[in-house]
Structure 1
Amino acid sequence: MLKQIESYILSGNFTEAEKLYQIMDFQQFEDEIIISAYDNRNILYYTFLHYLLMKVESEELHNLAFTLLIVPLVPIEGAYHCALYHAQKAIELTNEQNVGDLELILFLYGVPDQVVSDDKALETCHKILALEPSNEIAKSVLKKVQRRMK
């Protein structure tokens, strides 16, 4: 199915690509989109996810868009800023209760483009630690932020 969905997306035939998406397991869909995007480095993969998000907004699709932007499409100018948008939407959709979504903000705190401020990273660390006091990622970033803010 990989070549079929790839063909539909790259030709802009989102209606047919959506039909495949509807019958696929989400993990299989996610894997195929990431693999295809690696192979082609085409913004149409992101455009297709946006097409799906306009129909039904979900945490899963926002997380996939985030991954697409920080991995295969990262060379595109502004990819990290777009990824931040999708992380924020996923967090919003889960009422700030999903540690994995909150950790996306901390990942972006560490990227060279400096898309997340010290204050936002600090706030996010505290939210994560309130939900999961033993979270090593939040503890590590918290130390880094506190050193930077001195």
Structure 2
Amino acid sequence: MQHLIKKHVLNGEFDLVRQLMSETDFMEFEEAYISSAHEVESMMFYTCILDMIKYEESSEMHDLAFLLLVYPLSEYEGALDSAYYHADASIKLTDGKEVKSLLQMLLLHAIPTPVISDKKAFDIAKQILKLDPNNNVARNVLKDTAKRMDNVVVDINELHQRNAR
């Protein structure tokens, strides 16, 4: 399947990719699609997903776009910001009730140059823990971001003393 995906995507035969996806278990398709994109690293893989989203927008397609942008295409300028768009769309389409979609946002916080703030990561971690109280990723993010947010709390008295000088 991987060979067919690669061939159809690179030839711009997106309708054949869509057909292949509909005939296959989605998880199997997703794995083959990402593997194909790793081999070639062409923006055509992203273009194909956007074309498929035009036909039928779903959280699964946004999740696939997210995976594509954070793994094989992450070195392209703006890829991680685009990944944010897809993670956000997936969250909206699932009404914030899918842990997988929410965890994508936390991944965008864990990278060397975070795409989301500590506050947003903190809020998302809380949302995940409401859905899955034992989620260790969310627990760790909650602890780490809470510590950092406390570290940036400014002492009002200290500010007042600086202004008085």
Given the two structures, how large is their TM-score scaled by the length of structure 2? 0.86
The 2-side partners of 1:106 and 1:3 are apart by: 32
Residue ranges of structure 2 left out of the alignment (5+ in a row):
151-165
Give SS of 2:133's match. coil
What is the percent sequence identity of the aligned residues? 38
Q: Which residue of 1 aligns with 2:149?
A: 149
Unaligned runs of 5+ in 1: none
Aligned residues: 150
Amino acid of the structure 1 residue aligned with 2:110:
G
The answer on whether the counterparts of 1:80 and 1:113 sit within 8 Å (CA) in structure 2 is no
The whole-number CA distance in structure 1 between the counterparts of 2:91 and 2:99 is 9
Deviation of residue 28 (structure 1)?
2.2
Residue in 2 that maps onto 1:78: 78
Instruction: Give the match's secondary structure for 1:12.
Output: coil
Moved more, 57-66 or 13-22: 13-22
Partner of 1:61: 61
Partner of 1:110: 110
- Render the CA deviation track for 1:32-86: whole Å, top value 9, x for unaligned: 2111101000011011011111110111111111111111111111111111111
Q: Distance in 2 between matches of 1:57 and 1:36?
A: 22
Three-state SS of the structure 2 residue aligned to 1:45 is: helix
d(CA) in 2 for partners of 1:83, 1:137: 19
Partner of 2:18: 18
Q: What is aligned with 1:89?
A: 89
Task: Please give the alpha-carbon distance, in whole angstroms, between the structure 1 residues aligned to 2:27 and 2:87.
Answer: 19
Larger radius of gyration between Structure 1 and Structure 2: 2
Alpha carbons 1:41, 1:73 under 8 Å: kept: yes
TM-score by length of 1: 0.94
Aligned mates of 2:102, 2:3 — CA distance in 1: 33
Aligned-partner Cα distance in 1 for 2:5–2:136: 38
The one-character-per-residue Cα deviations of 1:97-142 (angstroms, maximum 9, x if unpaired) are 1112111111111112321011111111111112222221111001
C-alpha root-mean-square deviation of aligned residues, in Å? 1.2
